[in-house]
A and B are shown apart, each in its own frame.
Chain A
Amino acid sequence: MGPLGLILAGVALNSLFGALTMLMQYFASNTQLTAALFWTFGDTGRAGYRELWIIMTVFAVSFIYFIINGWNYNALEWGDETAAGLGVRVKRLRMRTMLLASLLSAVVTAFIGVIGFIGLIAPHTVRLFTAGDYRYITVYSALFGALILLLSDLIARSILSPQVLPVGIITSFAGAPLFLYLLIKGNRGI
């Protein structure tokens, strides 16, 4: 499946799960409805230690898998055939990677809520400095993503002090134009 197919599949799935969310909201009580609405404003304050441990475990497992497969991702950049010729089991790698990536983002989103754009901005920025080498992209985008989240959270907590904003609003506000900028200016490697 090409990039276009992937995006269209994303749109279709988005609409499907949007409908499911709406269905749940329709039959929910007022308090539940408010909670669901607040969940869409991603906020780091929502998770306690129990949630953090769960997130950490899933992160550790998938991160180690991604790092181990750095070379395989590099090979995949040259197309499936080249990768297969270099000994990569393409189908299995792609399946497991997608599964782990989906699991990781699902677990984080379930506990923290929706915090957009970090997953787009971090790897694409890092890619500009690492010459497309996935051995480094994985590590640096994890670090850089964490840094962006921390910075955004700092801004969210101080900008309208004493009112605390959810960090998801800040990242979406800053992320959308920044992403467009990266897309137009630096389409090297994106």
Chain B
Amino acid sequence: MLTFEGLYFKYSKNAPEDILKNISFSASNSEICAIMGPNGSGKSTLLKCAAGVIKPCRGALRYHGECLISNYKTDRAHLIAYMPQAQTPPACTVFDAVLLGRKPHISYSVSKKDIKKVEEIIHTTGITDIAMKRCDELSGGELQKTVFARALAQEPQILLLDEPTNHLDFKNQTEIMKLIKGLTKELKLITIAVIHDINLAIKFSDSFVLIKDGQIFANSCISAITKENIDTLYSVDSKIYEIDGGKIVMIN
């Protein structure tokens, strides 16, 4: 169980308004928690706070009761894998990119165990064919899978994914979400993902955190997805259909 307790954040002390205001929610093991909200609402900032890339001004982040904010960075990298939104791939091979995920576990030389682990993960994520390709020559889908594989190589207990389906086509979107879902269940991970596609989020997530203007607007299971919530959140006029026991959100 990962718990956010009254998290506040702003970039500089003199900034007039907090980017995150009183963020409190918790995410459970074996579940995907989708963070949704309009652009600039503070979703990515929230993930960065959780990943330790930036430090929140106030509030606490607890994993099984243990405070994570003041944690030493390498320790945190054992626990949390963070996949940022934008990727600028260097010229290394896919294999090396995944191997980089082992960094928190290796001091300098790579052990046989690390190599084996990387091979395993490359196999599970289905990127065996491109393992020797250069990262700056990959397609969007291949790159996203590579970066996800690197996050897995960290052997984390918490996965923080910032738009894992960004720039992906329909097939790749489903594929990567299935992969995330499967591994979250199998490895009992806590997965928190920023997802823009509402229907994709509904299909694959277990709980939802709706954020507007840096504040949590609604937070619960599928019951958070109501016409009223979606309309206020995105300032749109939407319609929700129930098909095969699932919800589908459409713009009216």
Chain A contact residues, CB within 8 Å of chain B: 68, 70-72, 74-75, 77-82, 84-89, 127, 131-133, 135, 188-189
Contact = CB atoms under 8 A, between A and B. Distances in A.
Of all A-B residue pairs in the complex, the 9 with the closest CB atoms, nearest first, are: A87-B77, A85-B82, A77-B90, A87-B74, A189-B91, A81-B84, A84-B53, A132-B91, A87-B73
A133 to B, nearest CB: 6
Contacts of A89: 73
Interface of B: 48, 51-53, 73-78, 80-84, 86-93, 96-97, 100-101, 103-104, 106, 108, 134, 154, 160
A84 B92 contact: no
A115 B187 CA distance: 56
A133 B108 contact: no
B84 A79 contact: yes
A86 B91 contact: no
Contacts of A84: 51-53, 73, 82
A79 B87 contact: yes
Given A75-B100, A85-B83, 9 more contacts: A71-B100, A77-B92, A78-B88, A85-B80, A85-B82, A85-B84, A86-B100, A87-B103, A87-B104
Nearest to B90: A77
Contact of A68 (B52, B83, B108, B154): B108
A127 to B, nearest CB: 8
Which of A68, A71, A189 counts the most chain B CB atoms within 10 A?
Answer: A71
